[in-house]
Amino acid sequence: MQTDSTDEQQPTAEAASPVKSETLNSIEQLSEPSAGVPMSPRQTAAASAGAVQQQQQQPPQRHRENTPLLQAQESAASETEGEVDLTGCSHYADDAEFAALIRETLRAIELGVNPERIYQGSSGSYFVRDSSGKKIGVFKPKDEEPYGRLNPKWTKWMHKMCCPCCFGRSCLVPNQGYLSEAGASIVDHKLGLGIVPNTKVVRLACEVFNYTPVDRVKARTKRNLATRLPSVGRRFHRINLPPKVGSFQTFMDGYKDADYWLRRFETEPLPQSVNEEFQYQFEKLVVLDYLIRNTDRGNDNWLICYGKPEIEAQDDSDPATDSGLVDELGDDWGIVQQPKISLAAIDNGLAFPFKHPDQWRAYPFHWAWLPQAKAPFSDRIKELVLPRLADMRFVQSLCDELVCLFRTDRGYDRATCERQMDVLRGQALNLTKAMRDCLSPVQLVQLPVLTMERTRSRTGASGSNASDDQQHQQQPFTYRAKYYKRPFFSCC
């Protein structure tokens, strides 16, 4: 949670009396001679009194301290009275759909439709609803993550108190789960997978979030002062509770846990065409999880949406003979719609490690035990991702986008982030090898893990004698593979 260095602004001499300074400017403008005609002292006094009266009649400016969503950069408030301040959505100008989602979130919070805490899981996460009460997103604050200091769940606290030697995951950067959620969305969009719900980093403030007692007392005191002493309240930088930074993920309506559908598919096999589509969607999940090295992928944190085939009656059928047609044609009557199946990869907050798991916990991919993981990668998934992953320039551009995201965190460390990208490049190399060798996901996870360390190259064409083509083709970095040894004993 980002905190402000000062809760109250220390105004300067000019800012402490804005009415007086603006009045003096008005007096100076009115007291200037017009067309060479000087003003008398009586006219000057009348102009001064008129300026003061005009300044007092101006309505008070609308303040933005009560907006629930705040961005890092402050912007001007809306001039229309009663209009919701949407300036916080300007950061998502390139994504109109997500910006509209944030607008609806703002409007709902102002109307009193607060987010609802999700009681499953080991962290503080919240269902965000629109003004009508419909779920539209999932917000996960940074300071309420599994290892965050304001996590409202007691499981991790008990874990830390009773077994501190096994607390946390040594291969992950602490308290960066919200960046991992947004980073998985970037990887999904970059590769064209389309299985991760749109996820971005936002700032939200709401009374249902888990705040410290000090924050709540300060906010309540400021509100009381602003109500009783408006002149004092206008000097506060913020009146309500401080905003929380976290990940905001679009809610996937109509999806259920994969474990539910996988059990159903054992007794109700899928049609051939639907089974091929499900295999393709499953391979997308494998590519995503392996590339970001997700350390928490079970069958309960990825979703499946399956629409069973339905029979749709033809519009040109005669109602008088419909019953006779049903008896005559049986199941062939009407139009059978093709069933659809889709997959959503959620809960990506424990990914992007800075090293491969090298202790007694290996954090395996639980999808490796599914029957779909035994089939070799299909040509369809190869055509989608293999040309991109085989191009090191594409992989490096992906790493650059992730670095830009991770850099926004206050605890950003350049060396640690570079190690995270080394792991990702090594995973991309293994994934490329598995697809070229026609391996299966099970065989992929059995390959020796490695990292691709990047170092600056000191060789190549340089200087004024080098041509433009040589300088363009010169690689400023070189990559060196480093293999990891698996631990002697590992589990879970």
pLDDT over 80 (residue 28): no
Q: Say whether both 296 and 420 belong to one domain.
A: yes
Neighbouring-strand partners of residue 127 = 116, 138
More confident residue, 35 or 143: 143
pLDDT at site 362: 84
In percent, how much of the chain has pLDDT > 70?
Answer: 68
The residues that bridge with 345 in the sheet, in sequence order, are 302
Statement to judge: residues 238 and 262 lie in one domain: no
Let me know if residue 133 belongs to a domain: yes
Q: What is the mean pLDDT of residues 456-470?
A: 54
pLDDT computed for residue 106 by the predictor: 87
Identify the residue with better confidence: 140 or 147: 140
The amino acid sitting at 148 is: G
Instruction: Identify which has the larger pLDDT, 383 or 454.
Output: 383
CB atoms within 10 A of CB 32: 8
Give the mean model confidence (pLDDT) for residues 329-355: 80
Mean pLDDT, the chain, as a whole number?
A: 78
333 pLDDT above the threshold of 70? no
Do 475 and 411 have their domain in common? Answer: yes
Percentage of residues of the chain with pLDDT beyond 90: 51
Pick from 48-62, 165-179, 198-212 the range whose average pLDDT is largest. Answer: 198-212
pLDDT per residue as tens digits for the range 218-266 = 888 888 888 888 887 777 777 788 999 999 999 999 999 999 999 999 9
Nearest to 337 by CA among 305, 304, 306, 308: 308
Q: Name every residue whose Cβ is closer than 8 Å to that of residue 33 and which is 6 or more positions away in sequence.
A: 39
Residues 244 and 283 in one domain: no
Is pLDDT of 157 > 90? no
Q: Is residue 407, in this structure, part of any structural domain at all?
A: yes
113 with 91, same domain: the answer is: yes
Same domain as 380, residue 271: yes
The total domain count for the chain is 2
* Strand (E) or helix (H) holding 406: helix 392-406
Q: In three state form, how does the secondary structure of the chain look?
A: CCCCCCCECCCCCCCCCHHHHHHHHHHHHHHCCECCECCCHHHHHHHHHHHHHHHHHCCCCCCCCCCCECCCCCCCCCCCCCCCCCHHHHHHCCCHHHHHHHHHHHHHHHCCCCCEECCCCCCCCEEEECCCCCEEEEEEEHHHCCCCCCCCCCHHHHHHHHCHHHCCCCCCCCCCHHHHHHHHHHHHHHHCCCCCCCEEEEEECCCCCCCCHHHHHHHHHHHHHHHHCHHHHCCECCCCCCCEEEEEEECCCCCEEHHHHHHHHHHCCCCHHHHHHHHHHHHHHHHHHHHHCCCCCCCCCEEEEEECCCEECCCCCCHHHHHHHHHHHHHHCCEECCCEEEEEECCCCCCCCCCCCCCCECCCCHHHHCHHHHCCCCHHHHHHHHHHHCCHHHHHHHHHHHHHHHCCCCCCCHHHHHHHHHHHHHHHHHHHHHHHCCCCHHHHHCCCCEEEEEEECCCCCCCCCCCHHHHHHCCCEEEEEEECCCCCCCEC
Structure-block tokens of residue 273: 């065409």
pLDDT, tens digit, 9 for 90 and up, residues 257-315:
999 999 999 999 999 999 999 999 999 999 999 999 999 999 989 999 998 766 555 55
Per-residue pLDDT at 364 exceeds 50: yes
Q: Give the H or E element holding residue 443.
A: helix 441-445
Whether residues 282 and 365 share a domain: the answer is yes
Q: Are residues 388 and 242 in the same domain?
A: no
Confidence (pLDDT) at 475: 54
Does residue 277 sit in the same domain as residue 231? Answer: no
The torsion defined by the Cα of 315, 317, 320 and 325, in degrees rounded to 10, comes to -130
Q: Is the pLDDT of residue 488 over 80?
A: no
User: Does the residue 396 lie in any domain?
Assistant: yes
In this predicted structure, the answer to whether residue 396 has a pLDDT above a threshold of 90 is yes
Residue-range definition of the domain harbouring residue 110: 64-73+83-250
Residue 147 predicted with pLDDT over 70: yes
More confident position, 325 or 194: 194
pLDDT at residue 126, as a whole number:
96
Check pLDDT > 80 for residue 199: yes
More confident residue, 325 or 382: 382
Write down which residue in 209, 230, 250 finishes a domain: 250
Q: Is 453 within a domain?
A: yes
What pLDDT does 489 receive?
53
* Per-residue pLDDT at 25: 45
Lowest mean pLDDT among 42-56, 216-230, 457-471: 42-56
Of 73 and 33, more confident: 33
Q: What is the pLDDT of residue 152?
A: 86
